[in-house]
Amino acid sequence: MTVKNLGGANLKKIAMVLVTILLINSKLTFIAYADPTSGAPTLSSEAAILLDQKTGQVLYDKNSTAQMYPASLTKIATAIYAIEKGNLDDIVTVSSKARNVEGTRVYLAEGEQISLKKLLQGLLINSGNDAGIAIAEHLDGSVRNFSKNINEYLKTEIGVQDTNFVNPHGLFDPNHVTTAEDMARITQYAMKNETFREIMSIKELDWTGEAWSTTLYNHHKLMREIPYEGVTGGKTGYVDQSGQTLVTTAERGNLSLIAVTLKGNTQTEAYNDTIELLDFGFENFKTTQIVKGKKFESEDGVPFLATKNLNYTQMKTGDVKLEVTNDGTLTVVQSNEALNTSFQLKEVKQNTAVASSKASSPDRDQEQIPFTSNISFYFFMLIIVLGVFGMVYTRVLKR
């Protein structure tokens, strides 16, 4: 492409034309932004994903649909399932099976009675496998029934299709699998729940049980030991077969992110990968909201409005335009086509009574013109009559 040299006057004319086009075409909104792909993270973990929590937009992925072993990330699904199905005030009796499960525990005693909410705290903060078994048995009678029901819940309520859990805690089983994308979607769904968000964000908690009294500390290092600005929650996981697994949620300004890494070789690699993902997200993206009630017009002038707040992800610099078709589809078109998204708007029906009233108003105005003229005529005639009457009356008096 050949670029001709443009003089200052020509540049001013072009600028004026562009500004005029932007002002006239109210159906399109333009914002500037740049392609950040050159700065995309290089990760050591075998699978990873970065998600905009509000919009669900994938900002980065690496093998995100490959089925892998989640380890204790499973407990995120167990927690939201229990919160939505159970009663937090329920008192749970701990079984022998829960008491004797291997791995990380909160050292529940057999026969101990404890609230479901406290079990959820032990599950998420200290990654208690015994708490997971106790929850599963309380909700569904057995781990087997729990597994069947939670898999159905994950498919029907959350919509993930590549996850199969056979226990509530994530200890290794060759059939216990998920994907980075599924884990991000499960976390996104769970973070909409206030109780889940509250427990997920706890950094430390005093714990008093029959067999163990201590302070529980969240295992996620970005929550405490190496704090990352904006982190709102996280869950760690590890078994030999899964490697290091990590889910992290973070928020700065209007952007909320979910980062998932699976099968890191070491903790250091998993945390470095997570920090790279979050840095990449916060440096390059933002969430933009179209407020409920905002009006739009299609190219043919058909009016539409947003019936709820609509969020979409965009890069911080570059081109974004909003296009509305005659069927009410609002499409957010961006330079990075992967960020394109669509919403359905509601058509605004014109009030026929008002339209009819407006249409007939000119006729009424025409009727008012002679009416006003008649008033003036009658007033003028009255003055003449009074004048004549006055003259006659004066002559009669003189006689």
Interval 321-352: pLDDT, tens = 999 998 999 999 998 888 999 999 998 987 64
Residue 219: partners with Cβ closer than 8 Å, 6 or more residues away: 125, 126, 127, 235, 236
- Mean pLDDT, residues 192-220 taken together: 97
Q: Is the pLDDT of residue 128 over 60?
A: yes
* Domains delineated in the chain: 44-285 (3.40.710.10)
User: What is the spatial distance between Cα 170 and Cα 247, in angstroms, rounded to a whole number?
Assistant: 14
- Top pLDDT among 209 and 367 is at 209
- At 369 the pLDDT is 40
**Under 8 Å between Cβ of 296 and 328:** no
Please indicate whether residue 263 is annotated as part of the active site: no
CA–CA gap between residue 180 and residue 216 (Å, rounded): 27
pLDDT over 90 percentage in the chain: 74
pLDDT-derived band at 151 (thresholds 50, 70, 90) equals very high
Yes or no: say if 46 and 291 are a contact pair by the CB < 8 Å rule. no
Query: 67: Cβ–Cβ under 8 A, 6 or more apart, which residues?
Result: 162, 177, 178, 179
Lowest-pLDDT choice from 2-6, 87-91, 151-155, 244-248: 2-6
Active-site residue among 75, 117, 235, 263?
75
Region 230-237: mean pLDDT is: 98
Tens digit of pLDDT for each residue in 353-381?
A: 444 444 444 444 443 444 444 545 555 56
* Predicted confidence band of residue 390 (pLDDT cuts 50, 70, 90): low
Whether 242 and 68 have beta carbons less than 8 Å apart is answered as yes
66 by Cβ neighbours in 10 Å (0-12 / 13-18 / 19+) ranks as middle
Task: Respond yes or no: is residue 235 known to be catalytic.
Answer: no
Whole-prediction pTM value? Answer: 0.79
Which residue in 45, 54, 62, 72 is the catalytic one? 72
Residue type, 93: T
Average pLDDT, the chain: 85
Cα atoms found within 13 Å of the Cα of residue 17, Cβ hemisphere only: 6
278-324: pLDDT as tens digits: 999 999 999 999 999 999 998 889 999 999 999 999 999 888 999 99
Q: What is the mean pLDDT of residues 16-31?
A: 35
- 72 an active-site residue? yes
Start-end of H helices in the chain: 8-24, 74-85, 96-99, 116-125, 129-140, 143-153, 180-190, 194-200, 267-284, 352-398
pLDDT band at 395, cuts 50/70/90?
low
State residue 39's pLDDT score.
73
- Determine the pLDDT at residue 349: 85
Name the active-site residue from 127, 147, 242, 256. 127
